[in-house]
A and B are shown apart, each in its own frame.
Chain A
Amino acid sequence: MTVMKRILHIYIPYIPLILLTGGLIIIQALLQLELPKLMAQIIDQGIVSGNLSLIYRTGATMLGLTLLVCIAAVSVSFLGARISSRSAAKLRSNLFDQVTRFGSAEIEHFGTSSLITRATNDVLQIQTTSLMLLRMGFFAPAMGIGALLMAIRTNRDLTWTIVVALAALLVLIVVSVSLSLPKFRILQKLMDRLNLIVNERLSGLLVIRAFHQETAEEQRFDKANVDLMKTNLFVSRLMSFMMPGMTLIMSYGSLLVVWAGAGLIQQDRLAIGDMMAFIQYAMHVVMSFLFLTMFFIMLPRAMVSAQRVQEVLSMEPSISEVCLENQESLPLDTPGEVVFDQVCFRYPDAEEDVLHDISFRAKPGTWTAIVGGTGSGKSTLINLLPRFYDVTQGSITVDGVDIRHLCHENLRQLIGYVPQKGILFSGSIRSNVTYANPEMDETTLTQAMKISQSYDFVEEKPEGLETSIAQGGTNVSGGQRQRLSIARAIAKNSPIYIFDDSFSALDFATEVSLRKAMLNSLGNRTVFVVAQRISTIKDAHQIIVLEEGKVAGMGTHSQLLGTCPVYRELAASQLQITSEGGDSHGRS
């Protein structure tokens, strides 16, 4: 278990507040501990001695003390709330910043889902527990030790009763915890399993029914259900005996005090009020002991969350996203010639290269297409350009500058990127399309909308550009999402464009108009297209054929038809190649 440096670091600025809170808690505990003593006073000196005014005076003192205790406790609540909320906010913020800096490698390492859980649930868990830890961490020892001291001061001879009670309690707790803790862990796993099964049944509904596997799925669920029930039952039943057990120990403890105390009172070595006070102090000691054990039981749960958060915070991103003063930079209107020079790439933790020795040059004003089979490395290759990953060998240059020497912000300003799946963010259509530059002028915006074939359908919407987009962009169709993603990139007006299989959600007619419009307006840019439809890339100036991470062919459509068997197979599956050697439209 690593030292939770990054997390503890967050609390450093709050140390003064924490100490203050701690101090107040201790004061609160000590003041509270005065009350039994005063009660003893009322009895021993008030009742026994028959002093009514003393009773009233002592009562007033107790009143004052109670008020102070309340004020202290409220202040503690105030400070505690402040500390826990603010530190949690800081933790969340740090986590968010860290993940923002992560490159694709780090995100793959954890998984998006897991990162989201860590930034949300785990932080929440830490927040909830930290407050409890703060309170208990100070209160329990303060109360416990204080009460113990008061008890000893009240009557030393009875102290052994407390020891006996604590010992009994310890045994009870050790037995309960050792029996239940492993079950608690299993419980979490079982809940997760149940979740998983239901989710799978829902997402695979058609398949399950189509393959008439309902009974099998039912059995799978039932097993998980039964396991869950059994474990829950065991844990609940254990707990249901633990609580009364604790109460019992405390009750028997007080009986012990009465019995032993009676003897002492008989010998005039103990006042009766003191005996009653002693019982109260003993109760406090035992309660504090309980709180302390709860503290230690809650701690591991928080530790698990803390560990998960710490892992994220302590991971160093492989691609530094910090821009230095003296870094090279390219102007935004740079021509944009891209050269891949003997590029090799392998994923971190992989045994083999995914890309081998890829070299090509893409000139401004040309379209370079990348095609290949599943797993041939097309997307991986193109994702190296915006430095989502870094090459493991070789280099990529833009206008002669190695992209690793450029500030990442500068590099990405030069690239308009459209991914395979259209991703939109919650907001409006406008906020999405102007994402690269919220201040962009209307003409650029309208241009981009028209080129991307989005203008028409947006105009038709009652709120037009201001139409709101829900999280995940689910209130527009897949094709519309895609077009808006394209609009977003085009509006950026960058020298380099990457379209990573971005047209698959569009129907043919739309794609054709889109390409025409793009050819017209992006004529002088360097465009990369990763695609599967030959019709999309047929007119590219340069087609790179990848197979198993290597370049299998490079050239124009007609050149490749003649020289590259891999490409021929690809084309054959889509176009009709007549026996004359050309396609059905007579082109060869």
Chain B
Amino acid sequence: MAGPKIRPARGPGSGGGPAAAMMPGEKPKNFRGTMSTLGEYLKPYRVKLVLACIAALFSVVFSVVSPFILGMATDVVADSVLTDQSLDFTRLGQLILVLLLLYGVSALFSGWLGFLMAGVAQKISYQLRKDLSEKLDRLPLSYFDHRTHGEILSRVTNDVDTVNTTLNQTLSQIVTNGITILGILALMIYINPLMTLIALLTIPLSLWVIRQIVKRSQGHFKDNQRFLGQVNGHIEEMFSGHIIVKAFNGEKQSKEIFENWNHQLANAGEKSQFLSGTMMPLINMIGNLGFILVCVVGGALALQGRMTIGSIQAFVQYIRTFNHPIAQLANVANVLQSTAAAAERIFEVLKEEEELPDSEKDSPLKAPQVRGEITFDHVSFHYPTQEENPQPLIQDFHFVAKPGQRVAIVGPTGAGKTTIVKLLLRFYELSGGRILVDGVDITTIPRKELRSIFSMVLQDNWLFSGTIEENIGYGSANPTREEIVSAAHSAHIHHFIKTQPGGYHMVIQEEAGNLSQGQKQLMTLARAFLADSPILILDEATSSVDTRTEAQIQKAMAQLMEGRTSFVIAHRLSTIVDADVILVMKNGDVVEKGTHQELLAQGGFYKTLYESQYL
């Protein structure tokens, strides 16, 4: 499989706060609708959210009031200096005690707020992931046919992460920042309205600066992302195809292309980073301007007796802390947008149409009792995505496989061979006709039971990151070691397993990178041997295994197939020459039926296929 899961690279200079405002945000299609669906997830935590609001309120109120009181304490000291009297330590002590309490309580409430929101956010994220995971099992196969793994994975990880961060931080930020701004504003006006006005002058200036920088840097950020994608894409290609690059002396060309993108990336990165880096200094400068204004005007007012030193100190503190919530709030709209976009993607999946549910009744057929007669009763099928203009793939297919028969399905690629098999396992719903097992319609059999009637070995060998023992035992209920070893013997993989470090306990790495194609196939064959189901399906099982090993497996499979109905799909006519019936498919339909000799005698499509192997 090509390439690792590269997290959407955010590039330098991203993160919370003002800088994040600059990343070109995504827009959701239906903000209201998505937010209300998200609200549904928040409902169970109503009480906690209310408590969180209360906590936020208290924590902010206490912290906003504190500079004011500290100012009062400072005034106690200042008074003694200005009026040359002795300091009123009692009053000072009282004020300081009050402050100790205020600070402490504010911190506690603040911590509690974070505690609550963390709980809410994590639990909701857990629920979202769980819902997605369970939904995946109910979605029809057709959903996955035209979606990449990366897309779906991104919903479960990245998108849930985005929602998580917002719930954790942004929500409480909105509340606390909002209250803070209001509180500070109120207190500043209370202290001195004129100063408040002067202090407020800095806000539109800050906002204007933020907008300007964001406007200018958006383009560079987009470029940055684009070039990063190009560079990474090139790296992925060249590293994955390094054999070809070497074999064709393509190193120079590869380097040229790389340097081109790399250079452009460096330029775009430099510009976007520079611009985003100017935001803080500029905002700080504006903040300092406010600070200076407060000092100067406040000083002048103090000389006129219209302001106390303590209130200057309070004002200075307020001004210092005023800019931060404003910058954060300026960013909130952006954050909410991208969160809604992420949530939307998640809900899209959750709203998708599901497979038809299993019937509620008991299974009319149990796997051990199955004789193995399969009937295709005038079956028609076309892919669900073509509802408007259905191109029927399989048309009016009628066929009965007697118990124990070996049925071979042949035909060129795209002829519909694997589709027939997927229909047997009810991976897709038929558009016409029925499929019967021992005379029972498969739609009346619960899927779990239906699938234990079949053992399937696919062209695509799926192994997961677990031990060899676990992989072979997959799908079989509590297999013993002897059974597993015996199955491995049948698949001619036992010797290989013994030569591996750890033997049957060896852990297969992610994507089974430490095994060859042939070995993987033998493992999946062992799995099928072990599962020992009444009906076998072999989908090009042995095409990646060399012909010698294939011959040995065919012997073993013949043993396995004895007395069992089996469907074999292969390109190699040698594997199907021994079949009881051959179904020849072309363009989605079964065009010929019969034994090898009969079909040759017919002189039709099958004959052409067979003969083309020997010219």
Decide whether A and B are members of one complex. Answer: yes
- Pick the residue among B4, B108, B273 that contacts A85 (CB under 8 A): B273
Closest-CB distance, A501 to chain B (whole angstroms): 9
Residue ID in chain A nearest B132 by CB atoms: A198
By a CB distance below 8 angstroms, the chain B residues around A42 are 295-296, 299
Residue ID in chain B nearest A75 by CB atoms: B281
- Pick the residue among A194, A204, A573 that contacts B156 (CB under 8 A): A194
> Is the pair A388, B548 in contact by a Cβ cutoff of 8 Å?
no
Q: Is the interface of B mostly helix, strand, loop or mixed?
A: helix
Query: A93-127 CB contact bits vs B (8 Å, 1 = yes)?
Result: 10011011010100100011111110111001001
Closest-CB distance, A196 to chain B (whole angstroms): 6
Residue ID in chain B nearest A504 by CB atoms: B543
Interface residues of B in 138-166 (CB under 8 A from A): 141, 144, 149, 152-153, 156-157, 164
Residue ID in chain A nearest B611 by CB atoms: A508
A43 an interface residue at 8 Å Cβ cutoff?
A: yes
> Is the pair B235, A210 in contact by a Cβ cutoff of 8 Å?
no
A201–B115 alpha-carbon span in the complex (Å): 34
A14–B177 alpha-carbon span in the complex (Å): 41
By a CB distance below 8 angstroms, the chain A residues around B106 are 244
Closest-CB distance, A81 to chain B (whole angstroms): 4
Closest-CB distance, B288 to chain A (whole angstroms): 4
B434 an interface residue at 8 Å Cβ cutoff?
A: no
B393 an interface residue at 8 Å Cβ cutoff?
A: no
20 further A-B pairs in the complex, CB-CB below 8 A; given A412-B246, A417-B243: A47-B299, A52-B299, A66-B292, A76-B277, A84-B273, A85-B266, A120-B235, A127-B269, A202-B149, A203-B149, A203-B462, A212-B451, A237-B114, A251-B103, A262-B87, A266-B87, A372-B546, A417-B248, A507-B571, A569-B548
- Pick the residue among A116, A233, A533 that contacts B4 (CB under 8 A): A116
Among the stretches B22-30, B199-207, B249-257, B373-381, the one at the interface with A is: B249-257
> Is the pair B300, A52 in contact by a Cβ cutoff of 8 Å?
yes
Residue ID in chain A nearest B82 by CB atoms: A48
B335 an interface residue at 8 Å Cβ cutoff?
A: no
Query: A213-246 CB contact bits vs B (8 Å, 1 = yes)?
Result: 1100110011001101100110011011101110
> Is the pair B546, A373 in contact by a Cβ cutoff of 8 Å?
yes
A191 an interface residue at 8 Å Cβ cutoff?
A: yes
> Is the pair B137, A117 in contact by a Cβ cutoff of 8 Å?
no
The residue among A200, A243, A254, A272 with the most chain B CB atoms within 10 A of its own CB is: A272
Q: How many A-B residue pairs have CB under 8 A?
A: 436
Give me 27 A-to-B residue pairs in the complex whose CB atoms sit less than 8 angstroms apart, sorted by A's number.
A39-B316, A48-B81, A52-B303, A56-B296, A63-B289, A77-B278, A85-B273, A93-B259, A100-B238, A115-B239, A116-B232, A121-B9, A198-B156, A202-B153, A207-B462, A213-B475, A226-B126, A241-B114, A244-B108, A245-B107, A258-B77, A259-B92, A262-B89, A426-B233, A534-B547, A572-B551, A573-B574
By a CB distance below 8 angstroms, the chain A residues around B44 are none
By a CB distance below 8 angstroms, the chain B residues around A121 are 6-7, 9
- Pick the residue among B271, B299, B510 that contacts A43 (CB under 8 A): B299
B435 an interface residue at 8 Å Cβ cutoff?
A: no
A124–B153 alpha-carbon span in the complex (Å): 22
A35 an interface residue at 8 Å Cβ cutoff?
A: yes
> Is the pair A233, B119 in contact by a Cβ cutoff of 8 Å?
yes
B186 an interface residue at 8 Å Cβ cutoff?
A: no
A275–B448 alpha-carbon span in the complex (Å): 78
A74 an interface residue at 8 Å Cβ cutoff?
A: yes
Interface residues of B in 601-615 (CB under 8 A from A): 609, 612-615
A121-B7, A213-B475, A573-B547 known; A252+B126 contact, CB < 8 A: no
Residue ID in chain B nearest A135 by CB atoms: B277
Residue ID in chain A nearest B608 by CB atoms: A509
A563 an interface residue at 8 Å Cβ cutoff?
A: no
Closest-CB distance, A98 to chain B (whole angstroms): 11
> Is the pair B231, A92 in contact by a Cβ cutoff of 8 Å?
yes
Residue ID in chain A nearest B517 by CB atoms: A374
Residue ID in chain B nearest A376 by CB atoms: B546
A107-B242, A195-B153 known; A425+B122 contact, CB < 8 A: no
Closest-CB distance, A258 to chain B (whole angstroms): 6
> Is the pair A251, B156 in contact by a Cβ cutoff of 8 Å?
no
A578 an interface residue at 8 Å Cβ cutoff?
A: no
> Is the pair A436, B249 in contact by a Cβ cutoff of 8 Å?
yes
Among the stretches B32-40, B66-74, B188-196, B384-392, the one at the interface with A is: B66-74
> Is the pair A258, B243 in contact by a Cβ cutoff of 8 Å?
no
> Is the pair A218, B103 in contact by a Cβ cutoff of 8 Å?
no
By a CB distance below 8 angstroms, the chain A residues around B103 are 248, 251-252, 255
By a CB distance below 8 angstroms, the chain A residues around B357 are none
Closest-CB distance, B100 to chain A (whole angstroms): 7
A120–B9 alpha-carbon span in the complex (Å): 9
> Is the pair B549, A212 in contact by a Cβ cutoff of 8 Å?
no
